[in-house]
Chain A
């Protein structure tokens, strides 16, 4: 038995879409128990990075590697990455009419269990889990029988993403612009939820444009992504500096 300190290790990652290079050599290491934030101006490649880690096929990895708990992810489908414990909270969650939040969660959880050689979760256990996690996130029970994301407000969609995260209990949660479109109350509920789910065995990667979210979910490490590269890494105080001074000085420093 060997212990793996790094949960996620990204080495010299290059990725393109339609022959256009978006990520130009990313290096990133995340350990269990840590919260990392990736900040950067629009178009710097933040969302691409989260999509590539989760395995979106549209992007082509041209160089480098992504190692998750010792496994190279490059050949794995998105669902296989999910089964290994990677979760991506979407900036724009997709609407699925006719499939209730509950039924969707049941399908997702049982797909995870099947992949891990387990039987379907018994209905009473599922209901108990749903009750527990929905209470934690202050989600109304009526909400759970609605069609997934259909007609949900921006805040409801994001809260539902965190509910899914709570239900699936991932090792690495990537939250892509989870703060966008949220008012202050919704932001607080979402952030409280994420904080409650944190422990020494899991890790969180926050992708955000603004420092606001980081007041609620305090990061251990802040990275600044500019033009497909991480140009600066620091502690949480870096986020405040970016909030005050904008991104131009980092860009210039990088040059």
Chain B
């Protein structure tokens, strides 16, 4: 049976299990209809021209994990940012793990989507924001239809999350092949602030397909920093759908670090629904072998006096494939928009590929929009400089690639994240740097 049919027929069992009287029953039923109509995206669609899901959809994924697999903290510690205090939301095969998590309801809500969907006190927030930002698509509809668990984060007005929140999804390989669909909702009220770290990590070599949807709502003057660490095993594929709605004077940044995984597709959309909004989208991609990473971004400038900054860097070795498709829409009313986009790439080997496509649709006349895209090799003069200092060519190449990717990290606000990513990049490129000296 094809995965699509299997998912549709599984839906009935899912609804039965979860309770058809649930408030979101209507939304789910509508969503499965949408998925039935739209299905998985194919390369015929412009936005999927360079990324085919065929190879990851062919596995016979189990849709419902059998039970929570017990894992110990010591086995997963290395995947967490553990040198600073954080709130943690840990999910194992899509199921919440209370003994590995640290939640709160003290001034801010850091808890579970399953609670939020079922408990009356969260109903107003769910009614206002759940499934309101995500646009219509087969993948989003599929996630909505099976939306059951994930992170629910609500930062109340004038509150500051006192520590960063980590959302980590582990898969254990309890199933031979597993499909998980986390659903996160982040609502950040006026004048509040939160930092979020998200990671998907497989613990075995069984195929895993994650179709994750995150909706983030940043109210007036809210500040949100979101970090996505994508360093999974080569058996794991990820479709990350993140949709962000911003109100006036809010500042939201998303940094995506893509180093691992078989196929990774990031659909990252920003909708600016107020004035003087600042949106930042940055990414570092370093892949090799047959890895494939696709960044599909959209920044929708709707109101005047807003800014957006996009900076994506990629290093592609072996026969890896990168895609950058960055769309910026500036509506007629969005005068005085400043929109910057840059995508720079290094192809390390002849067989590596990058498809880079900026798309600008500008309907306002008084705007500053720039985009730049480069694809190149390493600078021979710079290599010679390093070699003439006694650094062997291989290490010199690593050092230059490190330098190339490094400036994206300047805007990372959590020092431990910066340090961790720096180390990951150095490790990935075979560069030995003493970070403490």
Contacts and interface: CB of A to CB of B under 8 A. Distances in A.
Interface of A: 51, 54-58, 77-79, 81-83, 87-88, 90, 93-94, 96-99, 102-104, 106-108, 111-112, 115, 123, 126-127, 147, 164, 168
Contact of B391 (A55, A107, A147): A107
A87 B379 contact: no
The 7 residue pairs across chains A and B that have the minimum distance between CB atoms:
A98-B406, A82-B390, A78-B387, A94-B385, A108-B389, A94-B382, A112-B390
A92 B95 CA distance: 57
Contact of A111 (B381, B391, B433): B391
Contacts of B403: 96-99, 147
A79 B393 contact: yes
Contact of B389 (A102, A147, A168): A168
B400 to A, nearest CB: 7
Contact of B434 (A57, A90, A112, A123): A123
A220 to B, nearest CB: 25
B55 interface: no
Nearest to B407: A97
A108 to B, nearest CB: 4
A77 B380 CA distance: 14
Given A82-B389, A87-B388, A123-B437, 16 more contacts: A54-B388, A55-B388, A57-B384, A77-B392, A78-B384, A79-B390, A79-B391, A81-B388, A82-B387, A82-B390, A97-B403, A99-B406, A102-B437, A107-B433, A111-B391, A127-B437
Q: Which of B381, B382, B403, B409 has the most CB of A within 10 A?
A: B403
Nearest to A78: B387
A98 B407 contact: yes
B316 interface: no
B432 interface: yes
Nearest to B400: A96
Contact of B433 (A55, A88, A103): A103
Given A98-B402, A99-B403, A58 B380 contact: yes
Contacts of A112: 390
Contacts of A108: 389-391
B395 interface: yes
Contacts of B400: 96
Contacts of A102: 437
Q: Which of A54, A81, A97 has the most CB of B within 10 A?
A: A97
Nearest to B382: A94
Contacts of A111: 389-392, 395
Q: Which of B384, B388, B391, B402 has the most CB of A within 10 A?
A: B388
Contact of B379 (A79, A88, A94): A94
Contacts of B390: 79, 82-83, 108, 111-112, 115, 168
28 contacts: A54-B384, A55-B387, A55-B388, A57-B380, A57-B384, A77-B392, A79-B392, A79-B393, A82-B387, A82-B389, A82-B390, A96-B400, A97-B403, A97-B406, A97-B407, A98-B403, A98-B406, A99-B399, A99-B433, A103-B433, A106-B434, A108-B390, A111-B391, A111-B395, A115-B390, A123-B437, A127-B437, A168-B390
Contacts of A56: 384
A102 B391 CA distance: 15
A141 to B, nearest CB: 13
Contacts of B393: 77, 79
B329 to A, nearest CB: 32
A96 B382 contact: yes
Contacts of B399: 96, 99, 107
A126 B436 CA distance: 13
Interface in B386-421: 386-393, 395-396, 399-400, 402-403, 405-407, 409
Contacts of B380: 57-58
A253 B386 CA distance: 40
A87 B391 CA distance: 12
A147 B385 CA distance: 15
Nearest to B385: A94
Contacts of A57: 380, 384
A164 B387 contact: no
A79 B387 contact: yes
B385 A107 contact: no
Given A98-B402, A99-B399, A106 B391 contact: no
B426 to A, nearest CB: 10
Contacts of B391: 79, 107-108, 111
